[in-house]
Structure 1
Protein backbone atom coordinates (compact mmCIF):
# COMPACT_ATOMS: atom_id res chain seq x y z
CA UNK A 1 0.00 0.00 0.00
CA UNK A 2 1.35 3.41 -0.98
CA UNK A 3 2.39 5.89 1.67
CA UNK A 4 0.73 9.30 1.34
CA UNK A 5 3.39 12.03 1.34
CA UNK A 6 2.78 15.78 1.54
CA UNK A 7 5.67 18.04 0.51
CA UNK A 8 5.25 21.59 1.84
CA UNK A 9 7.51 24.40 0.64
CA UNK A 10 6.87 27.82 -0.89
CA UNK A 11 9.58 27.14 -3.48
CA UNK A 12 8.48 24.95 -6.42
CA UNK A 13 12.15 24.12 -7.05
CA UNK A 14 12.68 22.98 -3.45
CA UNK A 15 9.58 20.77 -3.65
CA UNK A 16 10.80 19.28 -6.92
CA UNK A 17 14.27 18.59 -5.50
CA UNK A 18 12.83 16.91 -2.41
CA UNK A 19 10.49 14.72 -4.46
CA UNK A 20 13.41 13.68 -6.67
CA UNK A 21 15.41 12.78 -3.55
CA UNK A 22 12.77 10.33 -2.28
CA UNK A 23 13.83 6.69 -2.66
CA UNK A 24 12.78 5.33 -6.05
CA UNK A 25 11.69 2.04 -4.46
CA UNK A 26 9.41 3.74 -1.92
CA UNK A 27 5.78 3.30 -2.95
CA UNK A 28 4.25 6.74 -2.39
CA UNK A 29 1.61 9.12 -3.59
CA UNK A 30 2.87 12.68 -3.39
CA UNK A 31 0.81 15.81 -2.86
CA UNK A 32 2.33 19.28 -2.77
CA UNK A 33 1.45 22.43 -0.86
CA UNK A 34 3.06 25.84 -1.29
CA UNK A 35 2.28 27.25 2.15
CA UNK A 36 1.10 26.36 5.63
CA UNK A 37 -2.58 26.97 4.99
CA UNK A 38 -2.55 24.63 1.98
CA UNK A 39 -0.69 22.05 4.06
CA UNK A 40 -3.33 22.13 6.79
CA UNK A 41 -6.09 21.87 4.21
CA UNK A 42 -4.48 18.73 2.74
CA UNK A 43 -3.93 17.33 6.22
CA UNK A 44 -7.53 17.91 7.25
CA UNK A 45 -8.78 16.11 4.15
CA UNK A 46 -7.11 13.03 5.61
CA UNK A 47 -4.71 10.47 4.34
CA UNK A 48 -1.39 12.23 5.01
CA UNK A 49 1.06 9.69 6.42
CA UNK A 50 4.28 11.69 6.13
CA UNK A 51 4.73 15.45 5.78
CA UNK A 52 8.00 17.06 4.68
CA UNK A 53 7.66 20.61 6.01
CA UNK A 54 9.67 23.75 5.30
CA UNK A 55 9.91 26.27 8.14
CA UNK A 56 10.17 29.60 6.35
CA UNK A 57 7.07 30.34 4.29
CA UNK A 58 4.89 33.41 3.88
CA UNK A 59 1.51 33.56 5.58
CA UNK A 60 1.80 30.57 7.88
CA UNK A 61 5.26 29.21 8.61
CA UNK A 62 6.26 25.68 9.49
CA UNK A 63 6.28 26.38 13.21
CA UNK A 64 2.65 27.53 13.04
CA UNK A 65 1.75 24.41 11.05
CA UNK A 66 3.35 22.21 13.71
CA UNK A 67 1.57 24.10 16.49
CA UNK A 68 -1.78 23.66 14.72
CA UNK A 69 -1.16 19.97 14.06
CA UNK A 70 -0.30 19.49 17.70
CA UNK A 71 -3.58 21.11 18.79
CA UNK A 72 -5.45 18.96 16.29
CA UNK A 73 -3.91 15.75 17.65
CA UNK A 74 -1.17 15.20 15.09
CA UNK A 75 -1.71 11.92 13.25
CA UNK A 76 1.03 12.05 10.63
CA UNK A 77 4.80 11.96 10.83
CA UNK A 78 6.39 15.35 10.17
CA UNK A 79 9.94 15.70 8.94
CA UNK A 80 11.12 19.30 8.83
CA UNK A 81 13.27 20.26 5.85
CA UNK A 82 14.91 23.64 6.30
CA UNK A 83 18.01 25.73 5.69
CA UNK A 84 17.68 27.04 9.26
CA UNK A 85 19.99 24.56 10.95
CA UNK A 86 20.36 26.35 14.28
CA UNK A 87 20.16 24.09 17.32
CA UNK A 88 17.30 26.18 18.71
CA UNK A 89 15.24 25.67 15.55
CA UNK A 90 15.84 21.93 15.61
CA UNK A 91 14.94 21.67 19.28
CA UNK A 92 11.78 23.73 18.81
CA UNK A 93 10.43 21.64 15.91
CA UNK A 94 11.02 18.45 17.89
CA UNK A 95 9.16 19.94 20.86
CA UNK A 96 6.28 20.70 18.50
CA UNK A 97 6.12 17.10 17.31
CA UNK A 98 8.42 16.78 14.29
CA UNK A 99 10.17 13.40 14.23
CA UNK A 100 13.30 14.62 12.48
CA UNK A 101 15.07 17.52 10.82
CA UNK A 102 16.78 17.43 7.41
CA UNK A 103 18.87 20.37 6.27
CA UNK A 104 18.61 21.93 2.83
CA UNK A 105 19.75 21.22 0.24
CA UNK A 106 18.26 17.78 0.73
CA UNK A 107 20.44 14.71 0.54
CA UNK A 108 18.80 11.52 -0.78
CA UNK A 109 20.88 9.33 1.56
CA UNK A 110 19.82 11.36 4.61
CA UNK A 111 16.15 11.08 3.63
CA UNK A 112 16.52 7.34 3.14
CA UNK A 113 18.22 6.97 6.54
CA UNK A 114 15.43 8.90 8.31
CA UNK A 115 12.74 6.86 6.56
CA UNK A 116 14.44 3.61 7.57
CA UNK A 117 14.91 4.81 11.15
CA UNK A 118 11.17 5.33 11.53
CA UNK A 119 10.16 2.12 9.76
CA UNK A 120 8.82 3.87 6.69
CA UNK A 121 11.22 2.13 4.33
CA UNK A 122 12.54 -1.40 4.46
Structure 2
Protein backbone atom coordinates (compact mmCIF):
# COMPACT_ATOMS: atom_id res chain seq x y z
CA UNK A 1 0.00 0.00 0.00
CA UNK A 2 1.39 3.39 -1.00
CA UNK A 3 1.96 5.82 1.88
CA UNK A 4 1.56 9.58 1.47
CA UNK A 5 4.75 11.24 2.73
CA UNK A 6 5.47 14.96 3.03
CA UNK A 7 8.94 16.35 3.71
CA UNK A 8 8.73 19.86 5.15
CA UNK A 9 11.76 22.13 5.48
CA UNK A 10 12.37 25.68 4.30
CA UNK A 11 15.78 24.61 2.99
CA UNK A 12 15.68 22.84 -0.38
CA UNK A 13 19.05 21.28 0.43
CA UNK A 14 17.69 19.86 3.70
CA UNK A 15 14.56 18.51 1.98
CA UNK A 16 16.71 16.76 -0.62
CA UNK A 17 18.93 15.28 2.12
CA UNK A 18 15.88 13.84 3.89
CA UNK A 19 14.49 12.48 0.62
CA UNK A 20 17.83 10.79 -0.16
CA UNK A 21 17.70 9.16 3.29
CA UNK A 22 14.31 7.53 2.71
CA UNK A 23 14.46 3.79 1.99
CA UNK A 24 14.50 3.14 -1.76
CA UNK A 25 12.13 0.19 -1.39
CA UNK A 26 9.51 2.19 0.54
CA UNK A 27 6.28 2.52 -1.47
CA UNK A 28 5.47 6.22 -1.05
CA UNK A 29 3.84 9.14 -2.80
CA UNK A 30 6.16 12.06 -1.97
CA UNK A 31 5.25 15.72 -1.52
CA UNK A 32 7.52 18.59 -0.50
CA UNK A 33 6.50 21.57 1.66
CA UNK A 34 8.61 24.69 2.20
CA UNK A 35 6.98 25.93 5.41
CA UNK A 36 4.65 24.79 8.16
CA UNK A 37 1.54 26.24 6.59
CA UNK A 38 2.16 24.16 3.45
CA UNK A 39 2.70 21.09 5.65
CA UNK A 40 -0.69 21.57 7.32
CA UNK A 41 -2.30 22.03 3.89
CA UNK A 42 -0.64 18.80 2.72
CA UNK A 43 -2.00 16.99 5.77
CA UNK A 44 -5.51 18.32 5.17
CA UNK A 45 -5.26 17.22 1.52
CA UNK A 46 -4.36 13.67 2.54
CA UNK A 47 -0.72 13.96 1.47
CA UNK A 48 0.94 13.51 4.88
CA UNK A 49 0.21 10.14 6.45
CA UNK A 50 3.88 10.50 7.36
CA UNK A 51 5.37 13.95 7.86
CA UNK A 52 9.07 14.73 8.19
CA UNK A 53 9.09 18.16 9.80
CA UNK A 54 11.74 20.80 10.47
CA UNK A 55 11.24 23.06 13.50
CA UNK A 56 12.67 26.41 12.43
CA UNK A 57 10.78 27.75 9.41
CA UNK A 58 9.06 30.94 8.28
CA UNK A 59 5.28 31.50 8.26
CA UNK A 60 4.53 28.60 10.63
CA UNK A 61 7.23 26.75 12.56
CA UNK A 62 7.30 23.05 13.40
CA UNK A 63 5.92 23.57 16.90
CA UNK A 64 2.89 25.40 15.45
CA UNK A 65 2.37 22.59 12.93
CA UNK A 66 2.41 19.98 15.68
CA UNK A 67 0.00 22.03 17.78
CA UNK A 68 -2.38 22.44 14.83
CA UNK A 69 -2.28 18.73 14.00
CA UNK A 70 -2.92 17.83 17.63
CA UNK A 71 -5.88 20.22 17.80
CA UNK A 72 -7.29 18.67 14.63
CA UNK A 73 -6.98 15.14 16.05
CA UNK A 74 -4.44 14.02 13.45
CA UNK A 75 -3.44 10.38 13.51
CA UNK A 76 -0.47 10.67 11.19
CA UNK A 77 3.17 9.90 11.93
CA UNK A 78 5.28 13.02 12.47
CA UNK A 79 9.05 12.78 12.63
CA UNK A 80 10.75 16.02 13.64
CA UNK A 81 14.15 16.47 12.02
CA UNK A 82 16.11 19.37 13.42
CA UNK A 83 19.55 20.63 14.35
CA UNK A 84 17.90 22.16 17.46
CA UNK A 85 18.55 19.24 19.81
CA UNK A 86 17.95 21.11 23.05
CA UNK A 87 16.16 18.95 25.65
CA UNK A 88 13.34 21.50 25.94
CA UNK A 89 12.65 21.34 22.19
CA UNK A 90 12.65 17.55 22.30
CA UNK A 91 10.27 17.55 25.26
CA UNK A 92 7.88 19.95 23.50
CA UNK A 93 7.72 17.97 20.26
CA UNK A 94 7.08 14.76 22.17
CA UNK A 95 4.27 16.43 24.14
CA UNK A 96 2.78 17.71 20.88
CA UNK A 97 2.63 14.20 19.43
CA UNK A 98 5.74 13.65 17.32
CA UNK A 99 6.70 10.00 16.92
CA UNK A 100 10.42 10.72 17.09
CA UNK A 101 12.88 13.59 17.26
CA UNK A 102 15.75 12.99 14.85
CA UNK A 103 18.80 15.20 14.55
CA UNK A 104 20.21 16.62 11.35
CA UNK A 105 21.89 15.28 9.36
CA UNK A 106 19.54 12.31 9.18
CA UNK A 107 21.10 8.85 9.51
CA UNK A 108 19.47 6.62 6.85
CA UNK A 109 20.18 3.39 8.77
CA UNK A 110 18.62 4.80 11.93
CA UNK A 111 15.62 6.01 9.93
CA UNK A 112 15.09 2.57 8.36
CA UNK A 113 15.27 0.98 11.81
CA UNK A 114 12.73 3.45 13.25
CA UNK A 115 10.36 2.99 10.31
CA UNK A 116 10.47 -0.77 10.93
CA UNK A 117 9.95 -0.23 14.66
CA UNK A 118 6.79 1.85 14.18
CA UNK A 119 5.39 -0.48 11.49
CA UNK A 120 5.81 1.74 8.44
CA UNK A 121 8.26 -0.59 6.68
Aligned-pair distance for 1:46? 1.7
**Secondary structure of 1:46 counterpart:** coil
Residue segments in structure 1 that go unaligned for 5+ positions in a row: none
Aligned-pair distance for 1:47? 4.1
After superposition, give the CA deviation of every residue in 1:60-95 in whole Å (9 maximum; x if it has no partner). Answer: 100000000000001211000000111111111010
Q: Distance in 2 between matches of 1:93 and 1:57?
A: 15
Q: Distance in 2 between matches of 1:9 and 1:98?
A: 16
Report the equivalent of 1:89: 89
Q: How many equivalent pairs are there?
A: 121
Q: Distance in 2 between matches of 1:46 and 1:25?
A: 22
Residue segments in structure 2 that go unaligned for 5+ positions in a row: none
Q: Distance in 2 between matches of 1:22 and 1:59?
A: 26
Is it true that 1:37 corresponds to 2:74 in the alignment?
no
**Secondary structure of 2:15 counterpart:** helix
Q: Distance in 2 between matches of 1:68 and 1:90?
A: 17
Is it true that 1:56 corresponds to 2:51 in the alignment?
no
Written as runs of structure 1 = structure 2, the 5 A alignment for 1:72-83 is 72-83=72-83
Would you identify which runs of 4 or more consecutive aligned residues in structure 1 move more than 3 Å?
none
